[in-house]
A and B are shown apart, each in its own frame.
Chain A
Amino acid sequence: MTSADRFERMIRWFPPRWREHYGAGMVALLEDTYADGEVPLRAHFSMMRTGLVERVREFGLIGSAATANERLRAGSLTILCGWTLFMIAGADFVKFSERWNGATPRAHLMLPDLGYAIVRDAGIAGVVVVLLGALLAVPSFLRLVRGGNWPLVRGPVVRTVVAGTSVMVFTAGISIWAHLLNSGDRNGGLWAYEGAVLLWCLAVIVTLGIATGAALRVSRQLDLAARTLRLLCGLAITLSVAMSAILIGTALWWASEAAYAPRFMREGIGNGIVITSSTFPLSLVIAGLLMLLGLGVAAAGVARLTPSLRRREATL
């Protein structure tokens, strides 16, 4: 690899539009500064940090240069990214909590039942909100395609369809296999099945990532009417409320199960691989951390869109 290639690679942290404008000058600076010598870690870090900041800025999540519409859109999409983390965490929670009520003393069912109901209902509400948002964007998407802009969004859309179809086929296959196995084999008795389930989980996570990435790329191309954008922002805020409810419900279920059904928690999925704990089972710790991260991301989105939404409503 020539030193020019090396420096070209270093500027890949920055978004393409930024590279078009500043890339040549930046590569020249790197060549002048480091020539054929070693590039210090500090310089790599400087490039990475600034590059990521520029990407976030171009997305519209930070910076004063973004228009009100760009801020609203960036805020809503950021909340959607938070929801993706919640979906992964939710799948983990659902798997871990399978048959929890059978393992919990009847006298202590009320609190975990309330927590679980909150998680379930808020989760359903979240899915409905996301579907409504997608439906609202359909007319703009069709206008985009009819306007001859299909090549702009073809890549991410095709990737999402291929990944989604593959996961559906994988899900059907694994369900059929599960029905042919007994309970023991399905729950740790058969390593091949465990491996397939792990692969399936990874496939679902990757597909969710691809779908979210596609939603981000496609929505940046959409020409949304002011009213539609306002409705989407409202849905995004509702989605973040649903995320908060899910986190509260999970915490309630977790705390009450740890208190009243420690054996269920200790023997749950994921426990015993690295650590065994009835208070902090690994699966739930991962789900909880993902939820906290998702809520943090959603909070950043709400903080970005709320001021613009208020200003816009004041002017209407």
Chain B
Amino acid sequence: MSKATRLNQPGLGRNNEPPLLILTSLAAGAKHGYALTKDIEAFAGVSLGPGALYGAIARLEERGLIEPAPSEDRRQPYCITASGRTALAQAVRDMRALSDVGASRLGLRLSTRRAGRSVATFMVTQ
């Protein structure tokens, strides 16, 4: 299987696409629509429109990667499933492999400075 195929295998798209952003957000715990948009805005700087968010939620639920969590009001929270975690882990590994290749070819050293946040610091090794 080629790398390009592997990157797309879970169907999560590129790293700034709604399904991947939603799975990444839900990996930290169940969230409803508004909490998801705020979290995604905070960690990725991407502002998802309501349609794009729910379109992606529908696809992820259809594929069993997320599921509705119990709710007491109209806000419907979602949580990541075991398959969702596997798909996200695969996508993260693929992105890591890609960024490692890119970094080595550019002569950059990658380090994740702040644990618990998805922020990568790029430092020139020279």
Contact = CB atoms under 8 A, between A and B. Distances in A.
Given A46-B51, A51-B51, A28 B32 contact: yes
A63 to B, nearest CB: 8
A70 interface: no
Interface string B23-62: 0000000001110010000000000011111110110001
Contacts of A45: 49, 51
Q: Looking at chain A's contact residues, is the secondary structure mostly helix, strand, loop, or mixed?
A: helix
Interface stretch (A17-25, A105-113, A248-256): A17-25
B62 A28 contact: no
A60 to B, nearest CB: 14
Contacts of B53: 29
Contact of A32 (B34, B49, B58): B34
Given A25-B74, A28-B76, A45-B49, A50 B34 contact: no
Q: Which of B32, B73, B74 has the most CB of A within 10 A?
A: B74
A18 B58 contact: yes
Nearest to B33: A29
Interface residues of A, number: 25
B49 A29 contact: no
Given A32-B33, A33-B34, A46 B52 contact: yes
Q: Which of B32, B50, B57, B73 has the most CB of A within 10 A?
A: B50
B50 A28 contact: no
A287 to B, nearest CB: 35
Given A28-B75, A32-B34, A32-B75, A53 B62 contact: no
Contacts of B57: 22
B58 A28 contact: no
A146 interface: no
Contacts of B37: 29, 33
Interface string A22-65: 10111111101100000000110111111101100000000001
Contact of B54 (A25, A32, A33, A65): A25
A18 to B, nearest CB: 7
Contacts of B58: 18, 21-22, 54
B51 A28 contact: no
Nearest to B52: A46
A33 B76 contact: no
Contacts of B50: 26, 29-30, 33, 43, 46-47
Interface of A: 13, 18, 21-22, 24-30, 32-33, 42-43, 45-51, 53-54, 65
13 contacts: A18-B58, A25-B54, A26-B33, A28-B74, A28-B76, A29-B54, A42-B49, A43-B50, A45-B49, A45-B51, A46-B49, A50-B54, A50-B55
